């Protein structure tokens, strides 16, 4: 199986078998496990599920919205045909001081890229969306909220820290889009991609997702696709959606699930 399918389906099985069952703020109970980790060798394989369809273009558009456009305006996503943030959009069209707002406020992309180029062995290469001063003015406090970066032997490594992980819907989206971000940052810092660690503090399956994810457990994976990034792009802000493509992505059908609000 692919790295992504193998680790993901093992997590699903573990949650269904050993998960702690209780309620939460959404009103839809979950089965959860604490402190789970995926590790992906990006030199070996691009991580995206093949045992169900993952909307790669949508994932990349949201990634661009946060890190390239550095926006909190949901209307910008809607113009790209993405509706995943519609439920949290405020009257002013924003999600408050969340996500891209925090990247722009502290110029976090610029500081990360400068640090990786000029002080690669620093242990302070961190981007965070978790700003205590602004949490109360966020329509949704960030789930995947921090990345910690490392350079070893010319390879760029990253740990994604996620406080809350919706395993049925969100997790497959998250590790795929952050793998893209590692590739983008590596290219503009003249590094090779290395390892992506994806840490989930609370990995959960909603009660109404249990039967859908069971369907996926019986599927065999296809070969992992290849990621293409335009090699001519040398400045992070020059990336466009057309500069990133997935090649030979073969997958099983989409599995419908309802988002818990």
Whether 143 is catalytic is yes
**Average pLDDT of every residue of the chain:** 97
Mean pLDDT over 120-146 rounds to 98
pLDDT of residue 108: 98
Q: Say whether 183 counts as a known binding-site residue.
A: no
pLDDT of residue 204: 98
Which pLDDT tens digit goes with each residue over 162-197?
A: 999 999 999 999 999 999 999 999 999 999 999 999
Architecture of domain 3-247: 2-Layer Sandwich (3.30)
- The catalytic residue among 28, 126, 143, 148 is 143
Q: Say whether 15 counts as a known binding-site residue.
A: no
Q: Say whether 163 counts as a known binding-site residue.
A: yes
Binning pLDDT at 50, 70 and 90, where does residue 28 land? very high
Whether residue 21 contacts residue 172, with contact meaning beta carbons closer than 8 Å, is answered with no
Q: Say whether 124 counts as a known binding-site residue.
A: yes
């Amino acid at each position: 199986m692919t790295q992504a399918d193998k680790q993901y389906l093992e997590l699903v099985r573990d949650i269904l078998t050993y998960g702690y069952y209780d309620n939460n703020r959404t009103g839809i109970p979950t089965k959860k496990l604490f402190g789970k980790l995926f590790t992906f060798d990006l030199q070996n394989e691009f991580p995206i599920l093949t045992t169900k369809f993952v909307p790669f273009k949508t994932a990349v558009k949201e990634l661009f919205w946060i890190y390239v456009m550095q926006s909190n305006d949901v209307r910008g996503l809607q113009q790209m045909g993405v509706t995943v943030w519609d439920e949290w959009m405020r009257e002013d069209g924003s999600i408050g001081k969340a996500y891209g707002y925090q990247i722009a406020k502290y110029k976090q992309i610029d500081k990360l890229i400068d640090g990786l180029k000029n002080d690669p062995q620093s242990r302070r290469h961190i981007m965070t969306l978790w700003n205590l001063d602004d949490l109360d003015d966020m329509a949704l406090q960030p789930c995947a909220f921090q990345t910690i970066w490392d350079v070893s032997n010319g390879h760029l490594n990253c740990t994604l820290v996620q406080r809350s992980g919706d395993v049925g819907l969100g997790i497959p989206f998250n590790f795929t889009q952050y793998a893209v971000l590692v590739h983008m940052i590596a290219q503009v810092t003249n590094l090779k991609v290395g390892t992506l660690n994806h840490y989930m503090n609370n990995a959960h399956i909603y009660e109404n997702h249990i039967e859908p994810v069971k369907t996926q457990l019986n599927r065999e994976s296809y070969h992992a696709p290849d990621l293409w990034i335009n090699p001519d792009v040398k400045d992070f802000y020059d990336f466009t959606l057309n500069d990133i493509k997935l090649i030979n992505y073969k997958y099983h059908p989409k599995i419908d699930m309802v988002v818990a609000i």
